[in-house]
Amino acid sequence: MVFIDLHTHSVSPTAQTFIFNYDAAVNQGFDETIQYQSVGIHPWSLSKFEISSALTRVKELASRRNVIAIGECGLDRLSQGSLGLQEKVLVEHLKIASQLGKPVIIHCVKAHNELIRIAKREKVSVPLVIHGFDGNLNIAQQLWKNGYYLSFGKALLRPHSNAANILKGWPLERMFVETDDSKLPIETLYQTAGQIVNLELNEIATIIMDNFNRVFRP
Ligand SMILES: [Zn+2]
């Protein structure tokens, strides 16, 4: 059984297969030996770092073979940077992803309507994955209608979290799990997700593996 960690900031994650998140504003040297990576600029980085050189780095790295996704990038209403700047940088990421045909891993906090509107306006057709999803039913329905994927993280472990409630009714062919910046073993997320949707560990692992292969074409 292969466990896939959709999004991790750790260089020694608990899954054999994982997408390491490289933040072009924060991370320095790019480690070619990491098999699967995503490259982007986190919205929190916008107020702390010089962005134009980071964007240049995203563009340089994006076409590498081991960069299988763009991001994480996105919108965060709780971040210090202005939403206007966040939108501009997000659009840059969406353009790069569209040119290369690579999916985008998105960080979105209290700005899902804006995200949906921007992605529509930019005519994005590559898969969009909202990572660390813990939004409400209304948001989930909007995302579902617009073809988004959701990646579930540690919020799943709280039995009455939005994430746990949404996963019960979310189409399984559009889900992933992730550890993000937590130290949790990825297997714990698989077990919890399996319990929520009433599937054995190997069944949920097969579903996520199929999703991974279809969306990321590794
Ligand atoms: Zn993250």
- DSSP letters spanning the chain: ---EEEEE--SS-SSSEEEEEEETTT--S--TT-SSEEEE--GGGGGTS-HHHHHHHHHHHHTSTTEEEEEEEEEETTSSS-HHHHHHHHHHHHHHHHHHT--EEEEEES-HHHHHHHHHHTT--S-EEETT----HHHHHHHHHTT-EEEE-GGGGSTTSHHHHHHHHS-GGGEEE--BTS---HHHHHHHHHHHHT--HHHHHHHHHHHHHHHH--
Is 9 a residue whose pLDDT tops 90?
A: yes
Confidence of residue 131 (pLDDT cuts 50, 70, 90): very high
Q: Please give the average per-residue pLDDT across 93-111, as a whole number.
A: 98
Could you tell me the distance, in angstroms and rounded to a whole number, from the CA of residue 92 to the centre of ligand 1?
19
pTM of the model: 0.97
Using the mean position of ligand 1's atoms as its centre, give its distance from the Cα of residue 9 in Å: 6
pLDDT the model gives residue 85: 95
Fold annotation for 4-216:
TIM Barrel (3.20.20)
Query: Alpha-carbon Rg of the chain, whole angstroms?
Result: 16
41 CA to centre of ligand 1 in angstroms: 10
State the distance from the centre of ligand 1 to the C-alpha of 121, rounded, in angstroms: 25
**CA of residue 1 to ligand 1 center, whole Å:** 25
Q: Tell me the average pLDDT of the chain.
A: 96
Sign of CA dihedral 124, 125, 129, 135: positive
pLDDT category at 13 given cuts 50, 70, 90 is confident
Identify how many contiguous H helices and E strands the chain contains and give both numbers.
Answer: 7, 8
Would you say residue 5 has pLDDT above 90? Answer: yes
Write down the pLDDT at residue 32. Answer: 93
Mean pLDDT of 33-41: 97
Distance 12 CA to ligand 1 centre (A): 15
Q: What is the pLDDT of residue 59?
A: 97
Distance from Cα 199 to the centre of ligand 1, integer Å: 27
Q: How far is the CA of 202 from the centre of ligand 1 (A)?
A: 26
- Residue 72 Cα to ligand 1 midpoint, Å, equals 7
CA of 7 to the centre of ligand 1 (A): 6
Question: By three-state DSSP, how is residue 28 classified?
Answer: coil
Whether the per-residue pLDDT at 12 is higher than 80: the answer is no
Give distance in angstroms: CA of 122 to centre of ligand 1. Answer: 24
For the residues 72-76, what does the mean pLDDT come to?
Answer: 98
Q: How confident is the model at residue 16, as a pLDDT?
A: 86
What pLDDT does residue 176 have? 98
Task: Give the model's pLDDT for residue 102.
Answer: 98
The Å distance, Cα 138 to ligand 1 centre, comes to: 23
